[in-house]
């Protein structure tokens, strides 16, 4: 559409304005919009993950369905693709820390931790209680407990040297920052953090 001059009348002699030059995008650590991260660990494992993972990811679908069934609060997921064929140490993805450009930290740990918190417990007075404190009858409680145990058992895998696997993590923070300044990974238990970089940065 042609811009009108201040008088509000368009004339045939008016020169159409030149299109504005696109603003260059600077891919810097303080304005990262990339959501795919990767790293090669000190032990030689190749790790990549989407931050956050979609709840429709096949590795997450059953877990998310259980969360909804259990009435638990929403979480963020992270699914790490671990290629440890050239590594010399097991990788368990102990923790991933995400920092925004204001210094706020969000932490992802193994999804088995949150599954346990969602599931019901059987108390000394022979009653089932959900993680939020609400009681449920025996049939529902026992069924949810079996489902939680099955999900936990299916998400216990680590990547031993020579193996490839997917490892699911979760964070209680359902909303991740729009700008991510830094991502660190503890790939093999509690210990030294290693930097994960946006995949678009290259090696």
**CA distance linking residue 191 with residue 99, whole number of Å:** 18
State residue 9's pLDDT score: 37
pLDDT bin (cut points 50, 70, 90) of residue 189 is confident
State residue 94's pLDDT score: 95
pLDDT bin (cut points 50, 70, 90) of residue 202 is low
**CA distance linking residue 26 with residue 192, whole number of Å:** 30
State residue 160's pLDDT score: 96
139: tokens are 């049939």
Q: What is the pLDDT of residues 11-41, one digit of tens each?
A: 444 444 444 433 333 344 434 345 899 999 9
Q: What is the pTM of this model?
A: 0.79
Q: Tell me how far apart the 2 most distant CA atoms of the chain are, in Å.
A: 89
**CA distance linking residue 152 with residue 80, whole number of Å:** 17
Domain ranges for the chain: 36-196
State residue 192's pLDDT score: 84
Q: Cα separations (Å) of 143 from 16, 61, 153?
A: 69, 19, 16
Is 86 or 199 the better-scoring residue by pLDDT?
A: 86
Angle of CA points 96, 97, 102, to nearest 5°: 160
CATH 2.60.40 is held by the domain 36-196: yes
Orientation angle between helical segments 61-70 and 111-118, nearest 10 degrees: 30
**CA distance linking residue 84 with residue 44, whole number of Å:** 7
Sequence-separated (6 or more) residues with CB below 8 Å from residue 168: 53, 59, 60, 63, 77, 78, 79, 80, 110, 111, 155
Q: What is the pLDDT of residues 90-149, one digit of tens each?
A: 999 999 999 998 889 999 999 999 998 898 888 777 788 887 778 888 888 889 999 999
113: tokens are 């931790």
Average pLDDT, stretch 49-57? 91
Output DSSP code: residue 115. H
181: tokens are 């300044």
Q: Cα separations (Å) of 160 from 50, 65, 93, 105?
A: 22, 29, 12, 29
pLDDT bin (cut points 50, 70, 90) of residue 203 is low
Of 63-67, 73-77, 162-166, 197-201, which range is least confident? 197-201
State residue 138's pLDDT score: 87
Q: What is the pLDDT of residues 133-183, one digit of tens each?
A: 788 888 888 899 999 999 999 999 899 999 999 999 999 998 888 889 999
């Amino acid at each position: 559409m042609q811009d009108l001059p201040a008088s509000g009348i368009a004339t045939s002699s008016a020169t159409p304005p030149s299109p504005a030059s696109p603003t260059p995008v600077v891919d810097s650590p303080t304005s990262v919009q990339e959501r795919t991260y990767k790293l090669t660990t000190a032990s030689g494992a190749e790790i990549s993950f989407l931050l956050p993972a979609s709840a429709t990811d096949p590795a997450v679908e059953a877990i998310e369905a259980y969360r909804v069934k259990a009435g638990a609060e929403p979480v963020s997921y992270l699914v790490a693709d671990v290629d440890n064929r050239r590594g010399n140490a097991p990788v368990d993805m102990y923790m991933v820390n995400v920092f925004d450009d204001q210094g706020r930290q969000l932490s992802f740990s193994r999804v088995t931790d949150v599954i346990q918190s969602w599931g019901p417990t059987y108390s000394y007075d022979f009653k089932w209680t959900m993680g939020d404190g609400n009681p449920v009858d025996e049939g529902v409680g026992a069924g949810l407990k079996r489902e939680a145990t099955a999900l936990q058992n299916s998400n216990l895998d680590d990547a031993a040297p020579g193996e490839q696997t997917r490892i699911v993590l979760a964070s209680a923070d359902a909303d991740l920052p729009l700008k991510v300044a830094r991502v660190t990974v503890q790939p093999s238990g509690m210990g030294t953090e290693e930097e994960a970089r946006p995949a678009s940065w290259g090696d």
